Amino acid sequence: MTHAIKIENITKYYRPRNVVDHVSFHVNHGEIFGLLGKNGAGKSTIINMITGISFPTSGNVFIYGKSNSSMEAKKRMGVMPDYDTFYSSLTALDHLVYFSKLNKKKISKHQMIKTLERVGLGKDIRKKVKSFSFGMKKKLGIAQAIITNPDLIILDEPTSGLDAESVITIQHLLRELNEEGKTIFMTSHNLDEVEKLCTKVAILNNSRLMSIGTLDQLKKEYQSNIIIHIKHLPIKLADVIDIKEYLQSITKSLHWNEESLNIVIQDDSFIPMIIKTLVHANVDIMRMETIEPSLEDIFLSKGGSKTSDLVNWQEA
Ligand SMILES: Nc1ncnc2c1ncn2[C@@H]1O[C@H](COP(=O)(O)OP(=O)(O)O)[C@@H](O)[C@H]1O
Ligand SMILES: [Mg+2]
Nearest Cα to Cα of residue 188 among 161, 222, 206: 161
The CB of 188 under 6 Å from ligand 1? The reply is: no
In the predicted model, what is the mean pLDDT of the chain? 90
Question: How far lies 126's CA from each of 89, 122, 141, 302, in Å?
Answer: 11, 9, 16, 46
The CB of 42 under 6 Å from ligand 1? The reply is: yes
pLDDT tens, residue by residue, 164-176: 999 999 999 999 9
Whether 180 and 29 have beta carbons less than 8 Å apart is answered as no
For residue 82, the CA-to-ligand 2 centroid distance in Å is 6
Q: What integer pLDDT is reported at residue 305 of this predicted model?
A: 36
Name the pairing type of β-strands 17-27 and 5-14.
Answer: antiparallel
* 3-state SS track over the chain: CCCCEEEEEEEEEECCEEEEEEEEEEECCCCEEEEECCCCCCHHHHHHHHHCCCCCCEEEEEECCEECCCHHHHHHEEEECCCCCCCCCCEHHHHHHHHHHHCCCCCCHHHHHHHHHHCCCCCCCCCEHHHCCHHHHHHHHHHHHHCCCCCEEEECCCCCCCCHHHHHHHHHHHHHHHHCCCEEEEEECCHHHHHHHCCEEEEEECCEEEEEECHHHHHHHHHCCEEEEEEECCCCHHHHHHHHHHHHHHCCEEEECCCEEEEEECCHHHHHHHHHHHHHCCCCEEEEEEECCCHHHHHCCCCCCCCHHHHHHHHC
For residue 269, the CA-to-ligand 2 centroid distance in Å is 43
- Burial call 171-193: b when 16+ CB within 10 Å, e when fewer: bebbeebbeeebbbbbbbbebeb
Name which residue sits closest to atom 25 of ligand 1, judged by CA: 40
CB atoms < 10 A from the CB of 107, how many?
17
How much is the average pLDDT of 101-124?
Answer: 94
Whether 138 and 158 have beta carbons less than 8 Å apart is answered as yes
The CB of 83 under 6 Å from ligand 1? The reply is: no
Q: Could you tell me what percent of the chain has a pLDDT over 70? A: 92
pLDDT tens, residue by residue, 245-273: 999 998 888 999 999 999 999 888 899 99
Q: Looking at mean pLDDT, say which of 7-11, 261-265, 306-310 comes out highest.
A: 7-11
Whether 274 and 228 have beta carbons less than 8 Å apart is answered as yes
Distance CA 53, CA 164 (A): 30
pTM score over 0.75 = yes
Q: What integer pLDDT is reported at residue 302 of this predicted model?
A: 39
| DSSP element (H, E) containing 253 | strand 253-256
How much is the average pLDDT of 304-315?
Answer: 38
Name which residue sits closest to atom 18 of ligand 1, judged by CA: 44
Which residue would you say has higher pLDDT here, 297 or 102?
Answer: 102
Distance CA 110, CA 217 (A): 43
For residue 187, the CA-to-ligand 2 centroid distance in Å is 8
Ligand 1 nearest atom to the CA of residue 157, by list position: 21
| pLDDT above 60 for 315 | no
Ligand 1 nearest atom to the CA of residue 47, by list position: 17
How much is the average pLDDT of 222-235?
Answer: 87
CB atoms < 10 A from the CB of 19, how many?
18
| pLDDT above 90 for 244 | yes
| DSSP element (H, E) containing 25 | strand 17-27
Ligand 1 nearest atom to the CA of residue 54, by list position: 1
Ligand 1 pocket test, pick from 23, 45, 156, 207 with the greatest ligand atom count within 8 Å of Cβ, gives 45
